[in-house]
Structure 1
Amino acid sequence: MKLFASHLIESLERLEGGSRLVHYTSADNAYKIISGRQVWLRNAHLMNDYSEMRHGLECLRAAWNSTAGVDLQTWLEANWQGIKIEIENTFNDHAASMTDDTYMICLSEHDDDEDNYGRLSMWRAYGGRTGVALVLNTKTFLSETDAMAVYSMPVVYRDQDQFVAWFQTWAASIMDAGDAITEIDRQVILDHLFHAFRSFVLATKHPGFKEEREWRVFHSPSIDGPSPWIDISIETVGGIPQHVVKVALKDDLEVGVVGAAPETLINRVIIGPCETPFPIRAALGQAMTVAGVQEAWSKIWMSFIPLRERQ
């Protein structure tokens, strides 16, 4: 129900209007994604700044205990007696899974004027000495299906005070909806609130990161369950043995998964500032061709930004 996800609507509308997403990564990882037809989601503990997860949780707790939160709790109790405890118990039962058992990959919104060069700040932050940007079409991100058990959402940038102020508006819009909400089945309300609160935890970030315009693709095994698209194994990444959620990049029209396969997912590839752009282009072009990407070579760009390597 859109009312519970009002904080995501603006970003979703940009995707529906033709905006694309991009994954900044290393050339090695880009090649593995394309040739292996799968993407790895890594545990949230291994994000650049794990405090991001705590930030969302602290924002939600502050809002739930604020005047607006108490008003919302009172309104919910008046319509579904005992639901406040059910909400809190359900959330608390899964809180550890949200922070400790969630696996994700981070994307960014991509503008048309970044097609040739990418975004300098992202090259500096990701990909190391052989950065590659995989620019993605967004059809699969807009699909309304749970078949993959993998979900995506835009990040919202707010500090705790900003979040609490926004939460007041969000809660008021729910209470003002009246019969449109109160006539909904109790379990449906619980589900909507749980998924809204989950999004607050997983995708609320300090406003200092706003220029990243991030989206997160995520899966929590203990919450979302298994699917034919998911395999979980232990791999060593950067010298760290860890569980990895491997998501197959494949379509299945019968269950509504469209646009996930490399041939439909990849819009273009930008090779970032590095000393070896031509060998990287040769390898990625071949991998894209084998993966079925039409006119693969014409979709690869080399940025040639004169960026000095870090010493």
Structure 2
Amino acid sequence: MEENDDLIRKTLWDDYDNSKDYPDQRPLLAHYTSISTIEKIINSNELWLSNPLFMNDWEELRFGMNTGADSFRTNPLIANACGSTAMHSALMQAFDKIFHRFANDHAIDTYILCFSEHDLTDADGLLSMWRGYGEIGSGAALVIDTSKINAVEHIPLSIGRVHYATQSERISWIEKKINALADLIIQLPKSKKVFESVAQIWFERLLMFSLFTKHKGFSEEREWRLVYIKENDPEFIFSPFLSYSITAQGVHPKLKLKLSEFSKTSNLLPDFNIATLTDRILLGPSISSELSVQSFRRMLDLASCPLAHKVRASTIPFRP
């Protein structure tokens, strides 16, 4: 059975180049947000991950998952590869069970935190990011140094680069993977157990594709994501961090990752905290005066956060 699982994973992941991702790549990552959010991060030593279904990216996730599920169910090559109507039905039942379990039980506790890859020599940040996520230039960017994060296996938290493609390119990727899977199914033993593995591994691949793929129109954001998937947390390591926030749109689920508590169980760092991880803090171009910098540094000092010397102001001549 393990040999079959390995073949399925190899078929579905053969295009993934881990040399371009963490931990082989350890970039600086900037999180653009409001000043008030930066203050909360500093004071609580927490990173808040949000559910993508409550974010602007909800269409991207739903598009990938729904398109991949529908294509899998209706692909004639998959039906033929199963060898009989009964076996095809068994495969579809296994997939639908996994898909519906995720939708009903785990989708609410799938979380992401978005960053933009930040060049070492960049003292200003990206204007598009300031406009879109940094309070139209009046916010701040917390720049994290991922080289200070130890790579730890077997935790349900992953850091990855977002890949960009047109809608037609994403549909083509899904169809190509399903067709390759059909070719493999022809060679596999036809049993309920094997088909359960096919369904599970295809679902996992589709979910990661959906979480780490966006329309190419967003490519200038150079996005990376920190992702948590509850289904990958069978020991409930992150259960203490599952929470909520109250917004103008109602109650939203959140994963409030308290870094000091997380470090005790993950061995990511002996002292895993915002101050340790932060390379610099950039103030947006709309609040880039020396007085703003001094005021922000005072806020950090009063919070006993040793980052005042890492505060910089963007010099982009942007005023909304």
Considering the TM-score relative to the shorter chain, is it more than 0.5?
yes
Q: How does 1:1-311 map to 2 (within 5 A)?
A: 4-6=12-14, 8-9=16-17, 12-13=20-21, 16-61=24-69, 63-64=71-72, 69-71=75-77, 75=81, 82-97=90-105, 99-113=107-121, 115-128=122-135, 130-139=138-147, 140=149, 142-146=151-155, 149-171=156-178, 186=194, 190-221=199-230, 224=233, 226-227=236-237, 230-237=240-247, 240-250=250-260, 252=263, 255-258=266-269, 260-275=272-287, 276-284=292-300, 287=303, 290=304, 296-309=307-320
Q: Distance in 2 between matches of 1:255 and 1:162?
A: 37
C-alpha distance after superposition, 1:199-234 (max 9, x if no partner): 133333222112222233333557646325742334
**Is the CA contact 1:271–1:277 (under 8 Å) kept in the aligned structure 2?**
yes
Structure 1 residue 49 displacement after superposition: 4.6
Structure 1: any 5+ residue segments left out of the alignment? Answer: none
Structure 2: any 5+ residue segments left out of the alignment? Answer: 1-8
TM-score norm. by structure 1 comes to 0.76
Partner of 2:3 in structure 1?
A: none
Which amino acid counterpart does residue 125 of structure 1 have in structure 2? G
Q: Distance in 1 between matches of 2:275 and 2:188?
A: 42
Structure 1 residue 86 displacement after superposition: 1.4
Please identify the structure whose Cα radius of gyration is greater.
2
Q: Distance in 2 between matches of 1:141 and 1:96?
A: 33
**Is the CA contact 2:111–2:254 (under 8 Å) kept in the aligned structure 1?**
yes
1:240–1:263 CA distance, 2 compared to 1 (3 A) = same
Which amino acid counterpart does residue 279 of structure 1 have in structure 2? S
Equivalent residue of 1:112, what SS? coil
Equivalent residue of 1:274, what SS? helix
Which amino acid counterpart does residue 219 of structure 1 have in structure 2? Y
**Is the CA contact 1:104–1:217 (under 8 Å) kept in the aligned structure 2?**
yes
Count of paired positions: 296
Structure 1 residue 121 displacement after superposition: 0.6
**Is the CA contact 2:95–2:199 (under 8 Å) kept in the aligned structure 1?**
yes
Equivalent residue of 1:280, what SS? helix
**Is the CA contact 2:111–2:227 (under 8 Å) kept in the aligned structure 1?**
yes
1:40–1:77 CA distance, 2 compared to 1 (3 A) = farther
Q: Distance in 2 between matches of 1:164 and 1:170?
A: 10
**Is the CA contact 1:174–1:181 (under 8 Å) kept in the aligned structure 2?**
no
C-alpha distance after superposition, 1:79-130 (max 9, x if no partner): xx644431332123213556554333222222234x3011111001012153
Name the stretch that deviates more: 3-12 or 100-109: 3-12
1:77–1:40 CA distance, 2 compared to 1 (3 A) = farther
1:236–1:254 CA distance, 2 compared to 1 (3 A) = closer
Which amino acid counterpart does residue 233 of structure 1 have in structure 2? S
Q: Distance in 2 between matches of 1:76 and 1:16?
A: 38
1:286–1:300 CA distance, 2 compared to 1 (3 A) = farther
Q: Distance in 2 between matches of 1:273 and 1:264?
A: 25
1:265–1:172 CA distance, 2 compared to 1 (3 A) = farther
Aligned-residue Cα RMSD (Å) equals 3.8
Structure 1 residue 142 displacement after superposition: 4.3
Q: Distance in 2 between matches of 1:153 and 1:267?
A: 19
**Is the CA contact 1:101–1:221 (under 8 Å) kept in the aligned structure 2?**
yes
Equivalent residue of 2:285, what SS? coil
Which amino acid counterpart does residue 268 of structure 1 have in structure 2? R
